[in-house]
């Protein structure tokens, strides 16, 4: 779409692609959206919907696309923050909206692609309004975390808002504090601020969900984790720690990084094997959990995905129909 058409258009066209970790979404985007792909169909740029890819110095554990691939297809919202900076779903939606507008103005199509289901859902529906943060209350909760520890406040959250607690890791002090803060500010749980069950009207979405066979996916996750260690994940962790980052750094709460802080001597060979097993287990659990965020989303196109030629043709057909409908509206 040209810039002039974008200005006249009431909606921003965007493809949203959800796929769990290790499902082959990078290979798929190359096939469909890179001029080098054998099924090239659309001139696009990728907006990463990965909550950890935003952090610099964390390349191996987050399985970021290579710099070479990013030259084939420009990627956005990757390497934009230091590991000690906070980044939440509201930040993501705001940033993704701005990037999508810029991509459209270039005459290209934004492809919002990733495996963070919480980000995808909020991008499609919008972020529900919650009370503005109260600095005094937030500081009191932070002090309690330091004095009493994460576990005590996490148990408090489990009693007050069990639904939020299920979605938050007990080591994630930032999100624990925010969920408690919302409750103590207004007497309502954070989960009571529900998303609108209506897609945002500023967009014309094509929403595609890749759903690989669960057992095959778990095998691929195990292989991917092995490759991460072979690629130097241990050294990446050492460099992050030497740079002053710790288990309290938001970026290092991610799977693939947080596990290293469970051991007094994580770089002992026996512990490294245990860490590897933990990362595989947590990654499989995370992949399963992400699907809970994208269930029942209006207009979902679910593809039983195994990277077959049939899959490529299914997705190409969806894009062609969407493009045709878009042109008829214009």
Are 207 and 273 in a shared domain? yes
Are 143 and 214 in a shared domain? no
CATH number at residue 268: 3.40.50.300
Are 33 and 87 in a shared domain? yes
Domain that holds residue 152: 135-192
Are 104 and 203 in a shared domain? yes
Are 31 and 114 in a shared domain? yes
pLDDT digits (tens, 9 = 90+) for 41-85: 999 999 999 999 999 999 999 999 999 999 999 999 999 999 999
State residue 255's pLDDT score: 95
Question: Facing residues of 120 across strands?
Answer: none
Q: Which residue has the tokens 């148990």?
A: 155
Are 62 and 39 in a shared domain? yes
Asked if 153 and 176 count as a contact pair (C-beta separation under 8 A), the reply is yes
- Among 279, 319, 308, 227, smallest CA distance to 32 is for 319
Q: How many domains does the chain have?
A: 2
pLDDT less than 50: residues of the chain = 1-8
Q: Which residue has the tokens 């701005």?
A: 98
Q: Which one-letter DSSP state was computed for residue 55?
A: B
State residue 295's pLDDT score: 81
Which residue among 192, 215, 233 closes a domain?
Answer: 192
- Among 214, 215, 207, 222, smallest CA distance to 301 is for 207
Are 208 and 105 in a shared domain? yes
CA atoms 143, 94, 118, 247: torsion sign: negative
Are 20 and 76 in a shared domain? yes
Rounded to 5 degrees, φ, ψ at 104 are -60, -40
Q: Are strands 109-114 and 75-76 parallel, antiparallel or unpaired?
A: unpaired
Are 100 and 201 in a shared domain? yes
Q: Both tokens of residue 307?
A: 């990277």
pTM here? 0.84
State residue 7's pLDDT score: 44
Are 104 and 169 in a shared domain? no
pLDDT digits (tens, 9 = 90+) for 251-285: 999 999 999 999 999 999 999 999 999 999 999 99
CATH number at residue 179: 1.10.20.140
Asked if 107 and 136 count as a contact pair (C-beta separation under 8 A), the reply is no
Q: CA–CA distance from 56 to each of 83, 143, 219, 232 (Å)?
A: 7, 28, 28, 16
Q: Both tokens of residue 45?
A: 């740029």
d(CA 297, CA 136): 37
Tell me the three state secondary structure of residue 275. Answer: helix
Are 207 and 82 in a shared domain? yes
Are 122 and 252 in a shared domain? yes
- Concatenating the DSSP letter of every residue in 99-141 gives HHHHHHHTT-EEEEEES-HHHHHHHHH-PPP-PPP-HHHHHHH
d(CA 258, CA 325): 45
């Amino acid at each position: 779409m040209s810039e002039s058409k974008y200005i006249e258009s009431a909606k921003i066209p965007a493809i949203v692609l959800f796929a769990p970790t290790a499902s082959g979404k990078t290979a798929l985007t190359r096939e469909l959206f890179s001029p080098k792909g054998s099924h090239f169909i659309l001139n696009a740029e990728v907006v990463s919907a990965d909550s950890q890819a935003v952090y610099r110095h964390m390349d191996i554990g987050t399985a970021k696309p290579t710099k070479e691939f990013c030259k084939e297809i420009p990627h956005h919202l990757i390497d934009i923050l230091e590991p000690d900076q906070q980044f939440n779903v509201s930040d993501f939606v705001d940033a993704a909206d701005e990037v999508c507008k810029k991509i459209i103005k270039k005459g290209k199509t934004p492809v919002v692609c990733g495996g963070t289901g919480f980000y995808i859902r909020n991008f499609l529906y919008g972020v529900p309004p919650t009370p503005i943060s109260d600095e005094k209350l937030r500081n009191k909760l932070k002090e309690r975390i330091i004095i009493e520890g994460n576990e005590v406040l996490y148990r408090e959250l489990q009693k007050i808002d069990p639904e939020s607690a299920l979605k938050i890791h007990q080591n994630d002090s930032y999100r624990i504090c925010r969920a408690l803060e919302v409750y103590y500010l207004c007497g309502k749980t954070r989960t009571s601020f529900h998303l609108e069950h209506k897609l945002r009207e500023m967009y014309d979405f094509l929403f595609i969900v890749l759903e690989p066979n669960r057992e095959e996916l778990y095998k691929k996750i195990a292989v991917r984790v092995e490759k991460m260690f072979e690629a130097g994940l241990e050294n990446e962790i050492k460099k992050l720690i030497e740079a002053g980052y710790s288990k309290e750094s938001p970026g290092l709460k991610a799977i693939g990084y947080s596990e290293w802080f469970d051991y007094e001597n994580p770089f002992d060979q026996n512990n490294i094997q245990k860490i590897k097993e933990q990362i595989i287990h947590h990654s499989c659990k995370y992949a399963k959990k992400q699907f809970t965020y994208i269930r029942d989303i209006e207009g979902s196109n679910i593809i039983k995905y195994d990277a077959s030629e049939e899959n490529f043709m299914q997705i190409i057909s969806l894009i062609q129909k969407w493009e045709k409908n878009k042109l008829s509206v214009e």
